[in-house]
């Protein structure tokens, strides 16, 4: 087996990975259908921006307490509960679309509910990956998770376009309901050894305390926050550009979404074969995104637009996957759930502003001026980091015992919460810390 895929020798992770691939395929079908349905009902990019914004708003509101839950209760059970509730929510939407009862405010409600469950699910699911594989293998595992996500992004929108054209909108939502089943079954059958033991290690904002105290992590989060607002609003941009700027039908929209997914898939494969936490790539990926937005502001034929969206997909995956891997490498196990909640909050919590701003500018100025403005703002936010020296790579095997800073932070938050561990529990916690010394 190639070294890049050696993590598949872990049969529990391999089953989880396959189930995740099926689940993500359905999710992308539903996401494409939701964007197209919004434009059918409203014919407004700003309305689409509101739907996208409400999907991400719960991450701003609930990610930190969700991260605390992920460090306190079984991560497997949290993910399983969230997936079951999302399946029921998608079933409700499929029935209402099939009965032709959906109006615009239903989409807003559905989007907010879906976002709330995602905010609960994401910190626990990201931390669960580290439980399933060894610490040395988790950069490759994260890359492979991204590969499933982007492989699904390649085929899901295209399948949604074909299903909507042939059988109607409800089919895209209905298929998504079925794709939840394999992941729920796999999570149910994971052995007890992979259940998270209660840590009860303090207050939920201690993740942000860690981020602020580590200069490298702080820089990564600042870059991520800025680009999340201005540089990765593709859930709003691609549907609006396809329908309102280019006048395409649902099959053309599915084609552009799949082109974006193809680029993202290529970016994921590149990360698999060059696995490792590479902070410097974040800055270059952001620069790449800014340049691509500016190129899309020019009049380009359909095939050129597809190529540029594909390049955007590769750049976005390079940015997000390297940020995730760097943060997972630098954080200690005792704070992992809360730090990943902070990551989710920054990544998805800034998205409502970006989605609304993109839709508002699109309706006000049109597609090309909007892309030019977003590209310029993305570039502007990267300039302060030009002179900062970011490490080329951080290897997980460099991670040693907890630093004094991490030990003090964890001890302080435990003491403040009034939920300390016994000396025996402390001796058995075995957390590891950052390879980075500021």
140/136 Cα distance (integer angstroms): 9
Which of 64-68, 89-93, 233-237, 301-305 is predicted with the least confidence, judged by mean pLDDT?
64-68
DSSP 288-349: HHHHHHHHHTS---HHHHHHHHHHHHHHHHHHHHHHHHHHHHHS-GGGHHHHHHHHHHHHHH
**Residue 285, pLDDT above cutoff 50:** yes
Mean pLDDT score across all residues of the chain: 81
311/319 Cα distance (integer angstroms): 12
Higher pLDDT, 422 or 377: 377
Q: How much is the pLDDT for 192?
A: 57
Question: What is the 3-class SS of 286-303, one letter each residue?
Answer: HHHHHHHHHHHCCCCCHH
Q: How much is the pLDDT for 166?
A: 87
Distant-in-sequence, close-in-space partners of 189: CB < 8 Å, separation ≥ 6: 15
Map out the domains of the chain as residue ranges.
10-395
The percentage of the chain sitting over the pLDDT mark of 90, rounded to a whole number, equals: 42
Residue 359 near residue 49 (C-beta atoms within 8 A): yes
pLDDT grade for 359, boundaries at 50, 70 and 90: very high
- Structurally, at CATH architecture level, domain 10-395 sits in Up-down Bundle (1.20)
Task: Provide the whole-model pTM.
Answer: 0.74
Q: How much is the pLDDT for 155?
A: 87
**Residue 67, pLDDT above cutoff 90:** no
Which of 83-97, 337-351, 404-418 is predicted with the least confidence, judged by mean pLDDT?
404-418
58/351 Cα distance (integer angstroms): 10
For residue 362, CA distances in Å to 250, 252, 257 come to 19, 19, 18
Which run of H or E residues covers position 81?
helix 75-98
pLDDT grade for 431, boundaries at 50, 70 and 90: very low
Distant-in-sequence, close-in-space partners of 48: CB < 8 Å, separation ≥ 6: 35, 38, 39, 42, 236, 239, 240, 359
**Residue 32, pLDDT above cutoff 70:** yes
pLDDT grade for 10, boundaries at 50, 70 and 90: confident
Q: How many CA atoms lie within 13 A of 53 on its CB side?
A: 16
Q: Is 247 left (phi over 0), alpha (psi -120 to 50) or beta?
A: left
**Residue 38, pLDDT above cutoff 90:** yes
Distant-in-sequence, close-in-space partners of 382: CB < 8 Å, separation ≥ 6: 223, 226, 227, 283, 286, 287, 290
**Residue 222, pLDDT above cutoff 80:** yes
Convert the pLDDT of each residue in 115-145 to its tens digit: 999 989 988 887 788 778 866 777 778 778 8
148/385 Cα distance (integer angstroms): 31
pLDDT grade for 97, boundaries at 50, 70 and 90: very high
Q: How much is the pLDDT for 2?
A: 58
pLDDT grade for 76, boundaries at 50, 70 and 90: confident
Alpha-carbon dihedral angle through residues 82, 85, 86, 88, given to the nearest 10 degrees: 160
Q: Residue 51 corresponds to which tokens in the numbers above?
A: 């739907």
Report the candidate in 365, 361, 272, 369 with the shortest Cα–Cα distance to residue 321.
272
43: phi then psi, degrees, rounded to nearest 5: 55, 35
Residue 73 near residue 198 (C-beta atoms within 8 A): yes
With 0-12 CB in 10 A as exposed, 13-18 as middle and 19+ as buried, what is 350? buried
Higher pLDDT, 135 or 113: 113
46/104 Cα distance (integer angstroms): 13
Helix, strand, or coil (residue 264): helix
Determine the Cα angle at 144 with ends 141 and 150, to 5°: 145
Helix, strand, or coil (residue 392): coil
Q: Residue 299 corresponds to which tokens in the numbers above?
A: 């009049």
The percentage of the chain sitting over the pLDDT mark of 70, rounded to a whole number, equals: 82
Residue 296 near residue 371 (C-beta atoms within 8 A): yes
- Residue 243 carries which DSSP code? I
Name the residue with tokens 């949290």: 78
């Amino acid at each position: 087996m190639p070294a890049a895929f050696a993590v598949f020798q872990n049969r529990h992770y391999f089953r989880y990975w396959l189930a995740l691939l099926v689940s993500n395929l359905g999710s992308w079908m539903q996401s494409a259908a939701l964007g197209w349905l919004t434009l059918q009902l409203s014919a407004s990019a700003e309305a689409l921006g509101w739907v996208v914004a409400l999907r991400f708003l719960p991450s701003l509101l609930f990610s930190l307490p969700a991260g605390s839950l992920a460090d306190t209760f079984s991560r497997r059970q949290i993910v399983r509960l969230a997936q079951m509730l999302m399946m029921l929510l998608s079933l409700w939407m499929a029935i209402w679309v099939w009965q032709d009862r959906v109006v615009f405010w239903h989409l807003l409600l559905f989007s907010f509910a879906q976002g709330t469950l995602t905010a609960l699910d994401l910190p626990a699911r990201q931390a669960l990956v580290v439980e399933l594989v060894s610490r040395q293998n988790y950069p490759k595992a994260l890359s492979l998770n991204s590969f499933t996500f982007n492989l699904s992004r390649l085929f899901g929108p295209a399948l949604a376009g074909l299903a909507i054209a042939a059988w109607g909108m409800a089919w895209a939502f209905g298929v998504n309901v079925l794709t939840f089943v394999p992941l729920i079954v796999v999570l149910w059958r994971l052995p007890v050894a992979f259940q998270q033991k209660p840590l009860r290690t303090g207050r939920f904002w201690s993740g942000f305390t860690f981020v602020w105290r580590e200069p490298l992590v702080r820089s990564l989060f600042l870059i991520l926050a800025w680009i999340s607002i201005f540089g990765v609003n593709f859930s709003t941009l691609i549907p609006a550009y396809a329908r309102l700027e280019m006048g395409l039908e649902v099959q053309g929209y599915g084609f552009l979404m799949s082109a974006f997914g193809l680029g993202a898939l290529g970016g994921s494969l590149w990360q698999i074969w060059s696995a490792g936490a590479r902070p410097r790539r974040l800055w270059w990926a952001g620069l790449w995104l800014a340049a691509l937005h500016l190129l899309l502001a020019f009049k380009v034929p359909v095939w050129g637009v597809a190529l540029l969206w594909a390049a955007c997909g590769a750049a976005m995956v390079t940015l997000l996957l390297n940020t995730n891997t760097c943060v997972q490498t630098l954080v200690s196990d005792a704070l992992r759930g809360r730090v990943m909640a902070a990551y989710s909050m920054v990544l998805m919590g800034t998205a409502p502003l970006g989605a609304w701003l993109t839709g508002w500018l699109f309706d006000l100025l049109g597609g090309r001026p909007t892309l030019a403005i977003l590209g310029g703002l993305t570039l502007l936010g990267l300039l302060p980091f030009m002179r900062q020296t970011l490490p080329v790579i951080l290897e997980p095997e460099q991670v040693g015992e907890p630093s004094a800073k991490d030990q003090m932070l964890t001890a302080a938050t435990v003491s403040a919460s009034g939920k300390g561990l016994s000396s025996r529990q402390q001796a058995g916690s075995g957390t590891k810390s950052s390879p980075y010394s500021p």
